[in-house]
Structure 1
């Protein structure tokens, strides 16, 4: 068993669309689904260009001031994998065999298909392909067609094909059709409404010839897509060699070796592989919620990047982390405009967006999640702590200050302290509440950070005093009778959800119950208070009480949830439970636990699986450039070996069960 090779035997759901997602390839700019070479009805081929989107007006039955105005949808551009094939003028084929092997160590996908005509003539189609990490404009293919049991005339046509518009039949607010009729002018394509453009340089292959039994037709193709009109002309062989070298460097600094569970070993490498592939690198693109592997969530960027994905990049590939943070710097003017539009000072980042403008049409679970400001500040602070790159922070300090100004205007000082009302925390099954614990704790941390930074830079000294004072007086709800941290002012007064009489097929709740039904109950979509406990020091006895109260009320309907509960279970020393949560996170897409991997990978969960290993089992933390670990390995894992980069220095760490 090669733990760097992913095959069909490694995945639980082998539907066509699941295979297309799991074996998709990407390089931060381009993403290509692993669709079938000869089109099938159930197939959803496609290629995506990070941050390229079409926009259209959001139509409200009842509009209101400040609602999001436009959708932004990542566009499914082309089908670059389909081939038109005929044998002796017969073009209908039956797929009789298929093998797929993703070499994650090299970043190359190898596939073999056997196609047969009704007369029994069989042709073998071999495809080797990759999205180049050396030249991120390129999707490269090497094709071999072999006549297995016939001699005859074979006609081959392979070229880029436009994706036709379509509409999905099932209701699911997490996915929207991504196909758009683009305006073509030569090799330039433009989205009519957003005005965004890109250029192409595509190889094509058209040939008709007589082949002998056993003969092989071979050719390579490079498909190039770029926002620039100029293209280089690399060779397939050159790009392949560069690809292998780049992935060798990636695994040298990012691999995690698990001794004790081979399936989880492959699962974590699969997750790291996709994280590396889908991260934007240009400062103007970010990390789509589904990576560059599918149409789920319209290619939008959320808080997922800062809280679930950036820790992996900060500790292993700080340059990519800096690019992802630079994206937030570049859209700061949009965040400032959004705060002004809503009547507040400073800046408020959009909950879901591509270009920086708010696209969430449902504000109770969108704009109201103002904790995104503090999430972004938290990521900047973590980056500075781990990398020591104070120059980047100092240069972009206005982002920290402007988002801090929002808190002082949105919150207010009461007799109880500094309060923040009408917000939605990470638990989207509880909306528009007062003093959400996670939001208040994150805002408190944000204000402390802004005050320290202002003091160091000798800027905004009067405001810095207010920031510090508001942080010191931040209201934190606590129920004395239950000895429980209050998720918000109202949560503990609500009626518990009737889990006993809710059938399994009624989950996720958001697809089967109106928000009003959900909001009035004690029920969580995902970790909320417990996420804050993962991030901040809290007495372990308090964490335990809160964990035991909130976890039974959590549906884990969000893929972001189980990894966090797993990390906190490790912190509590509940290794058996931590292992169960981690295992489900590590192989969530391989086993299709959420039932919708066909829409694209669950990127945040993949980052969460890294957190489960490194924050959870290894108990990693960094203070003043010094690394500390705490051994929380479950009995199923004998040892854990990984590398982190702290202030430019690579350190290999080993957590051994024999040394607990």
Structure 2
């Protein structure tokens, strides 16, 4: 059972607690309580093993294809958590004996996972257990574990096996060759894995320190090895009230690490350097290493973002902190060659691949809060141009056609061909998104634009941004199809964001975003020619811009953009949507589990129903209003409202990406109660009572969406016409919210109350912003009244 109200005093709304052990709920807790630092992600499985568990440990960027008929994925690395514990010869498990005072907690503030309980063995021996662990934010390669066991009922023999187990798989697929195993000085364990296709070396190391009543025990454990496994066997006699303390430090290094990417990499040198590092960590010890980690979290995360909410429901503040925590541990801030997977580093779902989720739902947090990380994530997409060119050429197109699922930058498209069962035919369902969901190229161009507007980073544009926008625009010129009968360019046979509609023609989102991409290219070409003719000349030589520019203009002028209907302002989602059969959707709108509609219909049947999986036209309206480029269409409030009122009842939110967009637009339209209700639904995706929602990993886009709803929805932060706008509309039960954002090189602190908000600029310089139709300029601090403004 999960409890979010255990924190008191300084820890109020900082703790996620599991108050009773449940073998059936292992998956969710393993995911939402996971630890990481962007370099690695450790699923929070328990030390003792259970049948229902899933032990996952990933290093970002170590993609491998286990078999020729499978796509590349992040391999599940060797497990260093597991401890086989025996009490007087009986195997320890919470499924036997009696457990009292059980509590497992993730402290978001310190990023430490702890677990404690009193356990009575089947033989009647009573012991107190305390487990702690962290994945260091200060030392990228370090994991720390600490166990304290106290005997409460007389003498007991306590034995445990602990080591490195490389017998792990990805749902049965083994990614590694058998590697070298070694134990140094009866204490330091080292195991090397090498991926069988990509040839990445991974060196795992471990050291233990065991003490009784605070005094280190001087003995040599038994050493053991078997196939893909190396471990130590310890046995200690405890008297009543004796406390056994086990510290375990683990490090992991790979040949793909940035420092090994340049120069003469040698496995033996990496092994030796890693061993020396581990010896230094062993001298430092768990507590000091944890303290350095805690300070790093305070300075690099909580002080930087400074997010606080005063709400009648404490979970609102906790959920946003949960989002910031996970956004931090999923982002590979250390290496621009790596992206963010749809399940982050918390589970095997979606194989570690990056989707449009990153640009539209996750990247905004970093653009407005930590632009350095945002830049790194965009450079990852720049490095992916090689794979995007490969995909475009394979399908007969020009330019950069970004993969729907992207892994290592040069890999190209990595979407699997087959998916879930078709409930009508009993066969596997064909996955079409990798072939015909094309809007991602325009989504990435939009992200470049949003980053440039919010940061003014000209260096990024010169080195990366311009080329990405020009290359994606070149793709759209070859993708557009001329309809001679209607004398217009169309985009046929696609999937839009609403993946319940496959093989549609003129999906409004895709057409408008492709048009915006072309307009961006025209705008930035003109800008670049004026401000940096040398870069323009260089890119023109590489891409033949002089011949592309007239083609962009001609096609942008003639691409079909579905207009709002005169009678009701509804923008058709695609050519067929408004004519599809309507059914009563109340059963699915009120569903306990997502995708319940698939129990009654297969994909082909759903394609013929007027039902939407996730925000499509609505996310388009949200994105378009942020573009201030000539010729990019924006729609008045009545169009936004008409389309919200039409599409919201038809949207099942069967994608975790959906509720955030609907919540933001509901807030914009003054539907505050609905906006807050959708925010609550977003919280429940990972933090709700249902215990099987996150078995495959957390929902990274939904986590980004929590922050977006709070900042873009309730605080009303937006980028419009190249300006910062602030239109706060706090939920009824929120008294205040405070947070930091970055805008064009300035750090701003916003403090929003019911009747006013205060903007404070840190450092030198002035910042202009618009609020409810009025322009303001802030040099130090300014207070802006609310009230009547909310109803404009």
TM-score, reference length from structure 1: 0.92
1:54 match: secondary structure: coil
* Deviation, structure 1 residue 400: 1.8
Give the alignment partner of residue 609 of structure 2, picking from 506, 511, 521.
521
Q: Which has the larger radius of gyration?
A: 2
Measured at CA, do residues 469 and 653 of structure 1 come closer, stay the same or move farther in structure 2, by a change above 3 Å? farther
Q: Which residue of 1 aligns with 2:326?
A: 274
**Counterpart-to-counterpart distance in 1, 2:511 and 2:746:** 35
Q: How does 1:434-513 map to 2 (within 5 A)?
A: 434-458=505-529, 459=536, 460-478=545-563, 479-499=565-585, 504=591, 507-508=594-595, 509-510=597-598, 513=601
* Deviation, structure 1 residue 505: 6.9
Give the alignment partner of residue 368 of structure 1, picking from 430, 433, 436.
436
1:239 match: secondary structure: helix
Question: Cα deviation per residue 1:625-655 (whole Å; 9 max; x = unaligned)?
Answer: 7532002222121222111011232111122
* Deviation, structure 1 residue 593: 5.6
**Counterpart-to-counterpart distance in 2, 1:238 and 1:345:** 55
**Counterpart-to-counterpart distance in 1, 2:30 and 2:394:** 41
Measured at CA, do residues 158 and 334 of structure 1 come closer, stay the same or move farther in structure 2, by a change above 3 Å? same
Question: Cα deviation per residue 1:354-374 (whole Å; 9 max; x = unaligned)?
Answer: 124212214522331111001
Q: Which residue of 2 aligns with 1:96?
A: 99
Q: How does 1:419-430 map to 2 (within 5 A)?
A: 419-430=490-501
1:401 aligns with 2:470: yes
Is the 1:143–1:220 Cα contact (8 Å) retained in structure 2? yes
Q: Which residue of 1 aligns with 2:36?
A: 26
Q: Which residue of 2 aligns with 1:259?
A: 310
1:550 aligns with 2:647: yes
Measured at CA, do residues 208 and 595 of structure 1 come closer, stay the same or move farther in structure 2, by a change above 3 Å? closer
Ranges in structure 1 where 5+ consecutive residues have no aligned partner: 60-69, 168-176
1:358 aligns with 2:413: yes
* Deviation, structure 1 residue 501: 6.5
* Deviation, structure 1 residue 196: 3.0
Give the alignment partner of residue 294 of structure 2, picking from 240, 244, 249.
244
Q: Which residue of 1 aligns with 2:17?
A: 7
Measured at CA, do residues 409 and 586 of structure 1 come closer, stay the same or move farther in structure 2, by a change above 3 Å? same
2:52 match: secondary structure: coil
**Counterpart-to-counterpart distance in 1, 2:343 and 2:318:** 20
* Deviation, structure 1 residue 10: 11
Measured at CA, do residues 468 and 30 of structure 1 come closer, stay the same or move farther in structure 2, by a change above 3 Å? same
**Counterpart-to-counterpart distance in 2, 1:516 and 1:489:** 17
**Counterpart-to-counterpart distance in 2, 1:519 and 1:506:** 20
1:144 aligns with 2:148: yes
Is the 1:352–1:358 Cα contact (8 Å) retained in structure 2? yes
**Counterpart-to-counterpart distance in 2, 1:454 and 1:18:** 48
1:79 match: secondary structure: coil
Segment drifting more, 454-463 vs 261-270: 454-463
Give the structure, 1 or 2, with the largest relative contact order (CA under 8 Å, sep 6 or more): 1
Is the 1:153–1:210 Cα contact (8 Å) retained in structure 2? yes
**Counterpart-to-counterpart distance in 2, 1:553 and 1:620:** 28
Q: Which residue of 1 aligns with 2:397?
A: 344
Segment drifting more, 485-494 vs 94-103: 94-103
Is the 1:255–1:269 Cα contact (8 Å) retained in structure 2? no
**Counterpart-to-counterpart distance in 2, 1:592 and 1:319:** 36
Q: How does 1:530-609 map to 2 (within 5 A)?
A: 530-537=618-625, 538-591=635-688, 595-609=692-706
**Counterpart-to-counterpart distance in 2, 1:331 and 1:256:** 33
* Deviation, structure 1 residue 498: 4.1
* Deviation, structure 1 residue 596: 2.2
**Counterpart-to-counterpart distance in 2, 1:506 and 1:492:** 27
Is the 1:152–1:212 Cα contact (8 Å) retained in structure 2? yes
RMSD: 2.4
Is the 1:183–1:191 Cα contact (8 Å) retained in structure 2? no
**Counterpart-to-counterpart distance in 2, 1:38 and 1:298:** 26
Is the 1:73–1:178 Cα contact (8 Å) retained in structure 2? no
* Deviation, structure 1 residue 302: 0.7
Question: Cα deviation per residue 1:228-263 (whole Å; 9 max; x = unaligned)?
Answer: 424223333443222112211211222421112311
Question: Cα deviation per residue 1:111-166 (whole Å; 9 max; x = unaligned)?
Answer: 21433321111222212211111222221112222212221322222222234448
1:638 match: secondary structure: strand
* Deviation, structure 1 residue 308: 0.3
The count of aligned residue pairs is: 641
Segment drifting more, 120-129 vs 328-337: 120-129
Measured at CA, do residues 189 and 181 of structure 1 come closer, stay the same or move farther in structure 2, by a change above 3 Å? closer
Q: Which residue of 2 aligns with 1:185?
A: 180
**Counterpart-to-counterpart distance in 2, 1:246 and 1:625:** 34
**Counterpart-to-counterpart distance in 2, 1:512 and 1:192:** 42
Q: Which consecutive segments of 4 or more residues in structure 1 shift more than 6 A?
A: 10-14
Question: Cα deviation per residue 1:378-406 (whole Å; 9 max; x = unaligned)?
Answer: 11111111111111121012222111100
Segment drifting more, 130-139 vs 355-364: 355-364
* Deviation, structure 1 residue 407: 0.2
1:123 aligns with 2:208: no
Is the 2:176–2:194 Cα contact (8 Å) retained in structure 1? no
Give the alignment partner of residue 451 of structure 2, picking from 373, 377, 383.
383
* Deviation, structure 1 residue 188: 2.4
Question: Cα deviation per residue 1:490-517 (whole Å; 9 max; x = unaligned)?
Answer: 1112112442576947850346532111
Is the 1:368–1:422 Cα contact (8 Å) retained in structure 2? yes
Q: How does 1:168-207 map to 2 (within 5 A)?
A: 180=175, 182-186=177-181, 187-204=191-208, 206-207=233-234
Q: Which residue of 2 aligns with 1:174?
A: none
Measured at CA, do residues 247 and 524 of structure 1 come closer, stay the same or move farther in structure 2, by a change above 3 Å? same
2:86 match: secondary structure: strand
Segment drifting more, 3-12 vs 595-604: 3-12
Is the 2:48–2:92 Cα contact (8 Å) retained in structure 1? no
Q: Which residue of 1 aligns with 2:45?
A: 35
1:99 match: secondary structure: strand
Q: Which residue of 1 aligns with 2:340?
A: 287
* Deviation, structure 1 residue 527: 0.2
**Counterpart-to-counterpart distance in 2, 1:289 and 1:313:** 16
1:439 match: secondary structure: helix
Measured at CA, do residues 646 and 100 of structure 1 come closer, stay the same or move farther in structure 2, by a change above 3 Å? same
Q: Which residue of 2 aligns with 1:135?
A: 139
Q: Which residue of 1 aligns with 2:267?
A: none
Give the alignment partner of residue 648 of structure 1, picking from 745, 753, 758.
745
